[in-house]
Chain A
């Protein structure tokens, strides 16, 4: 916990890790400010309108990386889970949402590197959560990212999943588990049928116990993924 530098930031877009091509990212949570001032008021008043969050993103254009493929796959109307991680450790802050690529532009000037700029518009609003495991590769069944929230919560939450790769036969499964003790675990949700890059978001209602973790199983050779969890 504390202050961060640029190398602490990780950017995931659907099944793509675009952090290594990114040169800047800006996460904005904002609302319209509506004016309800009436004749009797001695000073201007203000009311919150609709949320209109946005993520702007710039990177180096490189057709040898996944960045262009990530953006191209989502133009014009496709949506995908988008996560900006402010740290790679379990428990780091992450801003995430289901976004579509509102705008994607390649930018070129003489004597400069070709760059790529994108504006991502989340459906509804961005959510602040915590990283379970950041990008990690497993070669067999394994639990990852055990996170202690210090107390349970009762308003449910959401689970964001980025799968970056799967190799080998069959399919893999990712499960989110919670626990009141850190030793006995109960499944909250699962994503099945993983056989390649993809992303997903699942929501939960009711009690989420103090501890959460992710458990991965696979029939193939390895699976690379990251997950985040947002308590409501």
Chain B
């Protein structure tokens, strides 16, 4: 195993409104940090010389994906993501590609926002925000 650049291998998939996992790697240029995160609970007492902490339940992370707006039918980001606002679905994030044994994060998430933005002289862009439901799975392809 080794370090890896993003280009050409990173892959993000999420369900469309019909519950079919769609590969959006050709339409995503940025994904926010996404992995596993737990609450930290403070159990420090008078007896402690330093702060103590224990793990709480896994926190629901919010993450975003974004890129150039694209209205490609059926599998493009506009038709997939606009239909997902307000619904739960599966997602998979493979930062190092999908060869056997490579890291894969996955889970369920609610799509809480889909935004299309256009500014003069710029490209039309989209951003979708998700909030995780339950635990993220840290596994492999």
- What chain B residues lie within 8 Å of A27 (beta carbons)? 115-117
Q: Is the CB of A183 closer than 8 A to any CB of chain B?
A: no
Q: Is the CB of A6 closer than 8 A to any CB of chain B?
A: yes
A6 in contact with B121 given A43-B135, A44-B59, A46-B132 (CB within 8 Å): yes
Min CB gap B137→A, angstroms: 11
Q: SS class of chain A's interface: helix, strand, loop or mixed?
A: strand
In the assembled complex, the Cα of A47 lies from the Cα of B110 at a distance in Å of: 7
Do the beta carbons of A48 and B87 come within 8 Å of each other? yes
In the assembled complex, the Cα of A26 lies from the Cα of B116 at a distance in Å of: 6
Do the beta carbons of B73 and A5 come within 8 Å of each other? no
From A46, A92, A93, give the contact of B133 (CB < 8 A).
A46
Q: Is the CB of B34 closer than 8 A to any CB of chain A?
A: no
- For B73, the closest partner residue in chain A by CB is A1
Segment of B6-14, B64-72, B97-105 in the binding face: B64-72
Q: Is the CB of A51 closer than 8 A to any CB of chain B?
A: yes
From B82, B109, B117, give the contact of A24 (CB < 8 A).
B117
- What chain B residues lie within 8 Å of A86 (beta carbons)? 69, 71, 78, 116, 118, 124
Min CB gap B36→A, angstroms: 9
A28 in contact with B86 given A8-B124, A86-B69 (CB within 8 Å): no
Do the beta carbons of A29 and B82 come within 8 Å of each other? yes
Min CB gap A153→B, angstroms: 14
How large, as a class, is the contact surface on chain A? 35 or more
- What chain A residues lie within 8 Å of B86 (beta carbons)? 31, 48, 51
Do the beta carbons of B110 and A24 come within 8 Å of each other? no
- What chain B residues lie within 8 Å of A215 (beta carbons)? none
- What chain A residues lie within 8 Å of B112 (beta carbons)? 30-33, 48
A43 in contact with B134 given A33-B112, A51-B86 (CB within 8 Å): yes
Do the beta carbons of B117 and A25 come within 8 Å of each other? yes
Q: Is the CB of A9 closer than 8 A to any CB of chain B?
A: yes
Interface residues of A in 29-50 (CB under 8 A from B): 29-33, 35, 37, 41-48
- What chain B residues lie within 8 Å of A37 (beta carbons)? 57, 60
Do the beta carbons of B131 and A87 come within 8 Å of each other? no
Interface residues of B in 50-70 (CB under 8 A from A): 57-60, 68-70
Do the beta carbons of B122 and A46 come within 8 Å of each other? no
Min CB gap B129→A, angstroms: 8
Q: Is the CB of B119 closer than 8 A to any CB of chain A?
A: yes
- What chain A residues lie within 8 Å of B133 (beta carbons)? 44-46
From A3, A33, A128, give the contact of B131 (CB < 8 A).
A33
B residues apposed to A, CB below 8 Å: 57-60, 68-73, 76, 78-79, 82-83, 85-88, 109-110, 112-124, 129, 131-135
Given contacts A42-B57, A46-B132, 6 further A-B contacts (CB under 8 A): A22-B120, A23-B119, A26-B115, A29-B85, A37-B60, A41-B57
